[in-house]
Amino acid sequence: MKTNQMKFDITNNIEKAKYYTAFSYLNVRPLFKAKLFEFFDYDIKRAFNADKNDLTNLREYYDITIPKDFLEKRDKLNIEKCYTDAFLDKEVKLLTYEDEKYPQYLKEIPDFPLSLFYKGNLDLLEPDFNLAVVGSRNASQNALLALDSIISNFKNSNITIVSGLAYGIDTQAHKSAIENNLKTIAVVGCGLDIVYPSQNKKLFEDIKNTYGIIFSEYPLKTQPLSYNFPQRNRIVVGMSKGTLVAEAQIKSGAMISANLTLDYNRELMCIPGNILNPNTSGIYHLIKNGAGIVSDAKDLLNYMDWDIILNEEKFKDNNLDGLQKEILDILALEDKSFDEIINITNSDTSQIMITLTELELKGLIKQSNNKYYKCK
């Protein structure tokens, strides 16, 4: 068994593509699918057509639980209809375990997905530099700022940010990647015809059209149900060389991702935060148990053993006047509103407006939510 690593373009083998697609409609545990596929020497057609005796042998070989309703669910599927329905959206394409561009890191996890639907440009895949970023949906402003600061130092590099397109840390990770000309991969817990959360529609389109790829294990029309997301997390972590956690409570999806990172023997790193913030309880639990501490981009590169030149030009601009430097130093610590900047600097309102505009034109700061100013 396990004669691994066949390579061909699945688009040239429609019959196999149909079986891979049909498997995506089977609501059974990913680990069972992966082990069934392995048991039949990575032959997707034989795996799909397994009979009762085959399942008995599978259970004995791997010592795993066989879903009681697998054969019933399988027999109800119309393979031709599954294939037709899965590609009603013409932008959707299929990446299978047998394709050369299937991420090697993802093949190494025990419950790898047999295939992934995607929108975007597969040529942007550069798995040796994939960094998973996970964290709280209700992230603090400090966590968002810290994450943005770290990612901005990788500007124009070949690092790819992998996350889940959720609120909070995920959204910030993708946006920071795009703003700094980095590739980004979003792995979603629903069909690719659904944007979840809906507020991220523009972000979804930006990733799909220009900056990366949207992946899903699920066929079209699959709703973003809660139990899809822990399964989604294994793909985010599984295709990445390491995981950066930016805020996480002890019981959270981010902690599931962190534990999966350790299970997969990948590098686990955390951004420390305010100890009074309940969203850091998971962070400090992970740090106490050996996770790496990332307070700046150099820390992350050291843990990942990546030889990448950091983008530090913004800290080397010697053409700033006194007020420009003062405001930049203030914003380097924390986002501030216009009124807060006036109060701290004790400067004239019109001069502050002029200086903020100059800093924005230099690309050193930007407005956040039309209220706060922040360092880029």
**183-188 and 160-163 strand pairing:** parallel
Digit-coded pLDDT (tens) for 343-373: 899 888 888 888 888 888 777 888 876 678 8
Over residues 2-31, the pLDDT tens digits come to: 433 333 344 458 999 999 999 999 999 999
This prediction has a pTM of 0.82
For residues 95 and 235, what is the distance between their CA atoms, to the nearest angstrom? 13
pLDDT reading at 80 higher than 80: yes
Q: What does DSSP assign to residue 142?
A: H
DSSP β-bridge partners for residue 135: 246
H/E element holding 77?
none
Alpha-carbon distance of 331 to 344, in angstroms, equals 11
Tens of pLDDT, residue by residue over 248-267, are: 999 999 999 999 999 999 99
| DSSP type of residue 210 | I
In whole angstroms, give the CA distance from residue 48 to residue 76: 13
Q: What is the pLDDT of residue 367?
A: 81
In the three-class reduction of DSSP (H, G, I as helix; E, B as strand; rest coil), residue 24 is classed as: helix
Asked if 150 and 126 touch (Cβ cutoff 8 Å), the reply is no
Overall residue count recorded for the chain in this entry = 376
Q: What's the rounded Cα separation, in Å, for the pair 159 and 167?
A: 22
Say if residue 193's pLDDT is above 90: yes
pLDDT of residue 280: 93
Mean pLDDT over 34-43 rounds to 97
Six token digits for residue 228: 């899809």
Indicate the pLDDT class of residue 319, thresholds 50, 70 and 90: low
Sequence-distant (≥ 6) Cβ neighbours of residue 169 within 8 angstroms = 133, 134, 135, 136, 137, 139, 143, 144, 147, 163, 246, 247, 254
Quote the strand ranges of 212-351, DSSP E.
Answer: 212-216, 242-246, 267-270, 292-293, 336-337
Cβ atoms 318, 325 nearer than 8 A: no
